[in-house]
Amino acid sequence: MPVEPLSRTEIESRLAELPGWTLDGDRLTRAYRLDSHIAAAAMVVHVARVQDELDHHSDLTLGYNTVSLSVHTHSAGGAVTGKDLELARRVEDLAPAHGAH
């Protein structure tokens, strides 16, 4: 079942519920700061598991004490879809358990 791109208005409306997430061109992006490299690495593993559950994967970057995500839907021509917002919501829900801010 193909996924449909969302309008900019719908994306911005739904981003209001996801603090820290922004629309950067054709991608949703978010960076988190954590207390240590180990905490950041643990969060990356947790995010990777969620991405596998959703069968939807972001560009996921591990820094010393940071985790950054950038996501859009390739099958929708690189546009933002509901799948991207669902992934963002799931990551936002798990971030506090890792001490991410």
Does the pLDDT value for residue 24 go beyond 80?
yes
Tell me the percentage of the chain whose pLDDT exceeds 70: 99
Helices 37-54 and 82-94 cross at an angle (nearest 10°) of 140
The predicted model gives 60-84 an average pLDDT of: 97
pTM (2 decimals)?
0.96
Nearest C-alpha neighbor of 71 from the set 32, 21, 33, 36: 21
- At 2 the pLDDT is 74
Residue 1 has pLDDT above 70, yes or no: no
pLDDT single digits (tens) 26-65: 999 999 999 999 999 999 999 999 999 999 999 999 999 9
